[in-house]
Amino acid sequence: MINAKERLIVALDVDTREKAEEWVHRLKIHVPMFKVGLQLFTKEGTEMVRSIRKRGARIFLDVKYHDIPNTVARACEAACSLGVDLINVHALGGRAMIRSAAKALKEASAKMRQPKPRLLAVTVLTSHDARSLKAEVGLRSTPSREVVRLARLAQDSGAEGVVCGPREAALVRRACGKDFLVVTPGIRSALDAKGDQKRILSAGQAVAWWWGGRCWAPWTRWRPCSPS
């Protein structure tokens, strides 16, 4: 049985190397992996990644590459040299782009003789709901259906997992199998501000959705929930 702590990724959504290193120092004995996103990577660069690696922690490089296939492939090669464990691209970049990324990671890791980063594809950002997905992105289906469609596309194109909202995790698992990695952002406590995210759950609700699409509200008993 997998310990729940082995599934945690802490997002280093801070603006300086000093703050990030402090959080890694505090939490590395409790969690196995840290996420370096666009803000921190843009500010502190590759040395930030190397600093976390030196502290014995694993890294999810959350840069969401989305460009022509060759450009994304070369970026993935560069990321591979950093020794990260997970890296992601946008599934909306299409089949050729995802395949190029997967091929580049495989070839680069073999050439460097080091473990290959696992490739994830971002499906539908948690800042989108059904209205914005239709009006702004031009996708007419519901977020949950688009997530499953993009997850299948990503899997067929060589990705080893996806990033999706917590409400869609169980749907992706059923569609793509138990070995397909599912990473879920948008996990916040009921007291946290939502910010610009729309499809979010608390940690308890996310676990409940994973086990059969049920969610727990503190003022009720277990109740069924329908994907949005």
Show Cβ contacts of residue 184 under 8 Å, excluding neighbours closer than 6 positions: 163, 164, 165, 166, 169, 206
Has residue 102 got a pLDDT over 90?
A: yes
> Where residue 1 falls among pLDDT bands split at 50, 70, 90?
very low
Q: 118 vs 48, 76, 132, 136, CA distance in Å?
A: 20, 11, 30, 30
pLDDT given for residue 227 in this prediction: 40
Mean predicted lDDT score pLDDT of the chain: 85
β-pair type (223-224, 214-215): antiparallel
Residues designated as active site: 64
pLDDT digits (tens, 9 = 90+) for 15-29: 999 999 999 999 988
pLDDT given for residue 203 in this prediction: 63
Which amino acid is it at 127?
Answer: S
Q: Say which DSSP state 117 is in.
A: P
Q: Long-range contacts made by residues 91-96, C-beta under 8 angstroms, separation at least 24?
A: 91/121, 91/122, 91/123, 91/150, 91/151, 91/153, 91/154, 91/159, 91/162, 92/66, 92/150, 93/65, 93/66, 93/67, 95/153, 95/156, 95/157, 96/69
pLDDT given for residue 223 in this prediction: 35
- Over residues 146-173, mean pLDDT: 94
Has residue 205 got a pLDDT over 80?
A: no
Architecture of domain 4-188: Alpha-Beta Barrel (3.20)
Rounded to whole angstroms, how far apart are CA atoms 184 and 165? 5
Residue at token pair 């040395």:
47
Q: What share of the chain in percent tops pLDDT 90?
A: 59
Six-digit token string for 132: 């914005």
Has residue 171 got a pLDDT over 80?
A: yes
pTM of the model: 0.84
Segment among 61-70, 111-120, 140-149 with least mean pLDDT: 140-149
Spell out the domain ranges in the chain: 4-188
Which amino acid is it at 180?
Answer: F
Closest CA to 162 of 172, 175, 177, 171: 172
